[in-house]
């Protein structure tokens, strides 16, 4: 039965791929979502019998040696999702740690873009993956500067007119990018083991922690079916926001 399910999923994806013109953006967490990572001393003290996928990984110059387990079927899942979605990585781990793990388990090429501890604030905000996000921040900053400049005493009417015209121009560009960014976020899903990472009504798919020694990962199978379903809805105008 399980083998039949594994056959059905890629078959559906291959058959329907040409109809999925609008792609969902899947933003994955790393630790406890895609992998489990432990320091070698903790691993030895816990007497875990299930062998890790990677032993003795020096994740960064500052970190201790670690062992790493990948979710069962991880590469298979990312390979299929890559066919009809855009995949990103958003982790609170530092860049050296995350990139070394991704390279070690050979999945780094599935991610269009990655954000790390250096990019995170209090909550994960998916807007940061919008390609022109920095431009939006710069436009907002320039508009504030123009507002302050206009308040300066003894500036000529001619300069005030120039300031107002520049502000109108910046606002039009900003409105356009905000609309595009909101469209990007409306098609984005954060996939994380933590339910608390929901930010500004952005969609969270809660994926449960996985156990050592599993041969199959039903959480990833559920995710594949759900994302296929959501891709179908967004492409056939039945899309409605839903939180899991």
Q: pLDDT per position in the chain (244 positions), as tens?
A: 445 555 556 666 655 656 677 899 999 999 989 998 888 888 888 877 777 777 777 666 666 788 888 888 899 899 989 988 999 999 988 888 899 889 888 999 999 999 998 887 667 889 999 999 999 999 999 999 998 888 887 778 888 888 889 999 999 999 999 999 999 999 999 999 887 655 667 889 999 877 666 667 888 888 988 998 888 888 775 444 444 4
3-state DSSP call for residue 65? strand
Residue 1 has a pLDDT of 46
Q: 2-235: which CATH architecture?
A: 3-Layer(aba) Sandwich (3.40)
Pair of tokens at residue 204 = 């969270």
pTM of the full structure: 0.83
Residue 239 has a pLDDT of 44
Rounded (5°) CA angle 108-113-119: 110
164 phi-psi bin (left φ>0, alpha ψ -120 to 50, beta other): alpha
Query: Checking DSSP bridges between strand 24-28 and strand 85-90, what pairing results, if any?
Result: parallel
Check residue 191 and report its DSSP letter: E
Residue 11 has a pLDDT of 60
Q: How many angstroms separate the first and last alpha carbons of the chain?
A: 26
Residue 238 has a pLDDT of 45
Residue 139 has a pLDDT of 94
Q: What are the boundaries of each domain within the chain?
A: 2-235
Residue 223 has a pLDDT of 92
Identify the sign of the CA torsion 10, 16, 21, 27: negative
Pair of tokens at residue 215 = 């041969």
């Amino acid at each position: 039965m399980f083998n039949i399910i594994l056959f059905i999923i890629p078959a559906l994806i291959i058959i329907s791929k040409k109809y999925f013109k609008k792609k969902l953006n899947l933003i994955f967490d790393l630790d406890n979502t895609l992998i489990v990572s432990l320091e070698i001393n903790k691993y030895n003290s816990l007497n875990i019998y299930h062998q890790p996928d990677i032993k003795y990984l020096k994740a960064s110059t500052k970190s201790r040696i670690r062992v790493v387990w990948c979710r069962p079927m991880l590469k298979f899942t990312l390979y299929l999702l890559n066919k009809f979605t855009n995949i990103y990585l958003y982790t609170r781990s530092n860049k050296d740690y995350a990139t070394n793990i991704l390279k070690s388990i050979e999945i780094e090429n599935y991610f269009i873009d990655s954000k790390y501890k250096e990019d995170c604030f209090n909550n994960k905000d998916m807007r940061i993956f919008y390609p022109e996000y920095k431009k939006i921040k710069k436009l907002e900053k320039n508009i504030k500067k123009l507002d302050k400049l206009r308040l300066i005493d003894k500036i000529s009417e001619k300069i005030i007119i120039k300031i107002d015209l520049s502000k109108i121009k910046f606002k039009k560009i900003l409105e356009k990018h905000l609309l595009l960014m909101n469209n990007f976020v409306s098609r984005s899903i954060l996939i994380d083991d933590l339910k608390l990472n929901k930010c500004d009504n952005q969609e969270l798919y809660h994926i449960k922690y996985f156990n050592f020694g599993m041969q199959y990962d039903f959480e990833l199978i559920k995710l594949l079916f759900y994302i296929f379903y959501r891709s179908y809805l967004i492409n056939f105008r039945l899309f409605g926001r839903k939180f899991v």
